[in-house]
Chains A and B, each alone.
Chain A
Amino acid sequence: MYRYDEFDQTLINERAIQFRRQIARRLAGDIDEDQFKPLRLMNGLYLQLHAYMLRINVPYGCLSANQLRRLAHIARRYDKGFGHFTTRQNIQFNWISLTDAADIMVELAEVQMNTIQSSGNCVRNITADHYAGRARDEIEDPRVWCELLRQYSVLHPEFSYLPRKFKLALTGSPHDRAAVAVHDIGLRLHHDIRGRPGFEVIVGGGQGRTPVIGNTIRQWIEPRHVISYVEAILRIYNLYGRRDNIFKARIKILVNAIGADKFRKLVDTEWEQIRDTDLQVSTAEFERINAHFLPPDYENLTDQDDELATIRTQEPAFDAWMCSNVAGHKVPGYAIVNISLKAPGRIPGDISANKMEHVAELADQFSFGELRVNHRQNLTFVDVRQVDLHCLWKQLVALELATANIGLASDIITCPGLDYCSLANARSIPIAQDLGLHFTNSGKLQQVGNLTINISGCVNACGHHHVGNIGILGVNKRGKEYFQLTLGGSADEHASLGIRLGRGLPRAEVPGAIERIVDTYLATRLDSETFLSTYERIGIEPFRKAVYDPVNPSRRVA
């Protein structure tokens, strides 16, 4: 992974000093809350329901074991002993004192981490495929470009006061694990017909109260031009994005208002003026950064399918974990291992300081001292020797971190919801806990197969409910929590937005409704059809009847 040189380090150190001064000015009353708020937000510090919440960047999901240890230390020393991984591959702490925030910045800077622009109306932490550089289906590793774009966007003097927040996601695989179509800019590395790598540029996707699947405004652009092209997009957005209404300020509203063609023309005209400037990525800079992403010292190994098959037959629990949590690796003899933070009844994405330290030990022991945070709020070891899989699994079992549910119905994305968040209308964590237990107890988890359930506690959609196969949105009606269901969403290369099923349900009715949806799928699926395929084939109506009119399925739904 990328390691700071003295210049990266200096900048991060100086940022911590700057924030310490800004905090002192605030505490002394030299600046008021209105002036301080954007400054603390651009350092990842929110004021939530209970206290200040600090969001720490995990750049494109890459984390070292030592960084994770430092996060454990921060959790213990400055917070209540645990942290929460988010859908943007970041980690959040919920009870941070303003008077400690600058010290935490220094602690983070010591391990080359920061909180810069993890909030605010600026370019946020760049996210990426958590299998980047390791996936079997990958065409090109996007991480060098992630790092170039990270550096480009940090403290950008022109683009730090955009109309609204701005999120970039990158992938280099045909199978999209980074949800690039629902980002302000999604960049997909692929080959043109002559086999040259380039980026497809998708603009104006997003979730929130106006969910949109992004438009491809360029099929292929040479990677060395990607920064100038992003700058052209950012400049057009900064100049013409709406600033009169916070709900209409995202780039997707601009793209929709003027049309993708007109938007592309504006961007291309701007780009022509800047494409051949210093924004072009030089070979020297590419090589410097690429040196950080060279493969680790893999041993010359062979795949262990036969050996593993024997153990899998003997140990069904290991087999289940292998089926759901382990993915193929591009190097023979290695595997990608996902660590679920979704044990039934637990809080999705939460992890204690103790467990962070244990995971860090395991990363050192089994995966070259590195790990990834993925946007489904789980952790990933990307370089595990297949001969070590059983040993690693046993250790994860001992830590209660071996839940075999990656991609299954209990692997639920959940925002913090009203239990923590000042924007939320309803609680989302208890719903996830209810459903996780429900599916586990029903014993249908394996039978149902791949199914994404995503829960948001308000329309801002941090829980990605629009792109869940089943989405759950918490709303507040006359002071009471209700939950609206959507069906058919997907965040992959066939991204789609869920359709609302019907009126909102009280919390107690949600597990039953989900159960009837799943039973309808099980009863109607053909062969190995996924939930999404069945839904696309039979439409929403049978599910609507199952939820709202289960007694008399022939009656029309009001």
Chain B
Amino acid sequence: MLLTKKHQNTVDSYIRIGPDDSLPAEGALLVTLAVWQDHWERLVRRQELIGVQLTSDEHPEIISDDIDHLDLIALEFPTFRDGRAYSYARLIRERYGFTGELRAVGDVLLEQLHYMERVGFNSFEINSSDPETDFEIASNDFTVWYQASGDQRRIATMLRLGEKDRG
């Protein structure tokens, strides 16, 4: 099940392409890093949506120069315990300036969605019988956060200043 930032179920329009697959002439593609590097010129010239999926061993700095060509970056969580992609997501958003779709794939658990949203993910592949409801609950657990992390939520220090202004 794929959820987008509007918290809607979405049909995944991307075709996944691994190293052994041939590149179709048409259609949105989500390719591995190896495919992206091997077929970079061809992929950039296609007038279709293009995304790259990185494993948790692949630091996104490798594609930081390619950000403008990409519509989607998918980051893998091989297990929910592997938290590297939280850092990758912040770098992709805050340092490399990516504004497209940032998708969490792999072992993506409902209880982690609020962290993922905060670091910049805006779509999620998730197993759930009722993902929209679950998402609505999980991403609204908190109204106060202490850390600025690139999303637009107002953090406690800002809220406190606001309080002072009102007072």
**Residues on A with beta carbons closer than 8 Å to the beta carbon of B95:** 273
Task: Determine if A243 is an interface residue (Cβ-Cβ < 8 Å).
Answer: yes
**Residues on A with beta carbons closer than 8 Å to the beta carbon of B115:** 155, 157-158, 160-161
Task: Determine if B40 is an interface residue (Cβ-Cβ < 8 Å).
Answer: no
Task: Determine if B90 is an interface residue (Cβ-Cβ < 8 Å).
Answer: yes
Q: Determine the residue in chain B with the shortest Cβ distance to A239.
A: B87
Task: Determine if B19 is an interface residue (Cβ-Cβ < 8 Å).
Answer: no
For B95-123 the 0/1 string (1 means CB < 8 A from A) is 10000000000000101101110110000
Task: Determine if A324 is an interface residue (Cβ-Cβ < 8 Å).
Answer: no
Q: How many Å lie between the Cα of A151 and that of B142 in the bound state?
A: 15
Most buried by B among A5, A154, A155, A278: A155
Q: How many Å lie between the Cα of A5 and that of B161 in the bound state?
A: 12
B159–chain A nearest beta-carbon distance, Å: 5
A11–chain B nearest beta-carbon distance, Å: 4
Task: Determine if B34 is an interface residue (Cβ-Cβ < 8 Å).
Answer: no
Q: Determine the residue in chain B with the shortest Cβ distance to A285.
A: B157
Task: Determine if B137 is an interface residue (Cβ-Cβ < 8 Å).
Answer: yes
Task: Determine if B20 is an interface residue (Cβ-Cβ < 8 Å).
Answer: no
A158 touches B160 (CB 8 A): no
Q: How many Å lie between the Cα of A509 and that of B135 in the bound state?
A: 59
**Residues on B with beta carbons closer than 8 Å to the beta carbon of A21:** 137
B147 touches A157 (CB 8 A): yes
**Residues on A with beta carbons closer than 8 Å to the beta carbon of B147:** 152, 155-158
* Known pairs A39-B111, A284-B161; A162 contacts B83 (CB<8 A): yes
User: When the two chains form the complex, which single residue of A5, A11, A31, A157 contacts B160, counting CB atoms closer than 8 Å?
Assistant: A5
**Residues on B with beta carbons closer than 8 Å to the beta carbon of A35:** 80, 109, 111
B110–chain A nearest beta-carbon distance, Å: 8
A238 touches B83 (CB 8 A): yes
Task: Determine if A534 is an interface residue (Cβ-Cβ < 8 Å).
Answer: no
A238 touches B141 (CB 8 A): no
Q: Determine the residue in chain A with the shortest Cβ distance to B115.
A: A157
Q: Please classify the interface of chain A as helix (H, G, I), strand (E, B), loop, or mixed, using the class held by over half of its residues.
A: helix
Task: Determine if A121 is an interface residue (Cβ-Cβ < 8 Å).
Answer: yes
**Residues on B with beta carbons closer than 8 Å to the beta carbon of A39:** 111
Q: How many Å lie between the Cα of A162 and that of B81 in the bound state?
A: 8
Q: Could you tell me which residues of chain B, from 113 to 167, have a CB within 8 Å of some CB in chain A?
A: 114-116, 118-119, 137, 141-149, 156-157, 159-161, 163
**Residues on A with beta carbons closer than 8 Å to the beta carbon of B111:** 22, 31, 35, 39
Q: Determine the residue in chain A with the shortest Cβ distance to B149.
A: A157
Q: Determine the residue in chain B with the shortest Cβ distance to A42.
A: B111
**Residues on A with beta carbons closer than 8 Å to the beta carbon of B137:** 21
A403–chain B nearest beta-carbon distance, Å: 40
A225–chain B nearest beta-carbon distance, Å: 16
**Residues on B with beta carbons closer than 8 Å to the beta carbon of A18:** 141-142
Q: How many Å lie between the Cα of A159 and that of B147 in the bound state?
A: 11
B77–chain A nearest beta-carbon distance, Å: 9
Task: Determine if B7 is an interface residue (Cβ-Cβ < 8 Å).
Answer: no
Task: Report, as a range, how many residues of chain B touch the other chain.
Answer: 35 or more
Q: Determine the residue in chain A with the shortest Cβ distance to B95.
A: A273
Task: Determine if B12 is an interface residue (Cβ-Cβ < 8 Å).
Answer: no
Q: How many A-B residue pairs have CB under 8 A?
A: 99
A146–chain B nearest beta-carbon distance, Å: 14
* Known pairs A10-B143, A158-B149; A239 contacts B160 (CB<8 A): no
For A118-132 the 0/1 string (1 means CB < 8 A from B) is 000100000000000
Task: Determine if A14 is an interface residue (Cβ-Cβ < 8 Å).
Answer: yes
* Known pairs A35-B111, A239-B87; A155 contacts B146 (CB<8 A): yes
* Known pairs A14-B141, A18-B141, A160-B83; A288 contacts B160 (CB<8 A): yes
Q: How many Å lie between the Cα of A284 and that of B162 in the bound state?
A: 13
B113–chain A nearest beta-carbon distance, Å: 11
Q: How many Å lie between the Cα of A159 and that of B86 in the bound state?
A: 8
**Residues on A with beta carbons closer than 8 Å to the beta carbon of B144:** 7-8, 10-11, 14
Task: Determine if B82 is an interface residue (Cβ-Cβ < 8 Å).
Answer: yes
User: When the two chains form the complex, which single residue of A11, A152, A157, A278 contacts B86, counting CB atoms closer than 8 Å?
Assistant: A157
Q: How many Å lie between the Cα of A159 and that of B38 in the bound state?
A: 33
B156 touches A158 (CB 8 A): no
Task: Determine if A38 is an interface residue (Cβ-Cβ < 8 Å).
Answer: yes
Q: Could you tell me which residues of chain A, from 93 to 115, have a CB within 8 Å of some CB in chain B?
A: none
A37–chain B nearest beta-carbon distance, Å: 10
For A158-188 the 0/1 string (1 means CB < 8 A from B) is 1111110000000000000000000000000
B95–chain A nearest beta-carbon distance, Å: 7
A161 touches B160 (CB 8 A): no
Task: Determine if A235 is an interface residue (Cβ-Cβ < 8 Å).
Answer: yes
B167–chain A nearest beta-carbon distance, Å: 12
Task: Determine if B59 is an interface residue (Cβ-Cβ < 8 Å).
Answer: yes
A286–chain B nearest beta-carbon distance, Å: 11
Most buried by A among B95, B115, B161: B115
Task: Determine if A51 is an interface residue (Cβ-Cβ < 8 Å).
Answer: no
Q: Could you tell me which residues of chain A, from 437 to 459, have a CB within 8 Å of some CB in chain B?
A: none
Task: Determine if A266 is an interface residue (Cβ-Cβ < 8 Å).
Answer: no
**Residues on B with beta carbons closer than 8 Å to the beta carbon of A235:** 87
B138–chain A nearest beta-carbon distance, Å: 9
Task: Determine if B84 is an interface residue (Cβ-Cβ < 8 Å).
Answer: yes
B90 touches A158 (CB 8 A): yes
Task: Determine if A17 is an interface residue (Cβ-Cβ < 8 Å).
Answer: yes
| Given A7-B160, A39-B111, A157-B118, 8 other A-B residues pairs in contact with their CB atoms under 8 A | A38-B80, A121-B81, A151-B156, A157-B145, A158-B83, A158-B86, A158-B87, A158-B147
Nearest 3 pairs of A and B residues by beta carbon: A161-B83, A157-B118, A157-B115
Q: Which residue numbers of B lie inside 8 Å of A, CB to CB?
A: 59, 80-84, 86-88, 90, 95, 109, 111-112, 114-116, 118-119, 137, 141-149, 156-157, 159-161, 163
Q: Which residue numbers of A lie inside 8 Å of B, CB to CB?
A: 5-8, 10-11, 14-15, 17-18, 21-22, 31, 35, 38-39, 121, 151-152, 154-163, 235, 238-239, 243, 273, 277-279, 282, 284-285, 288
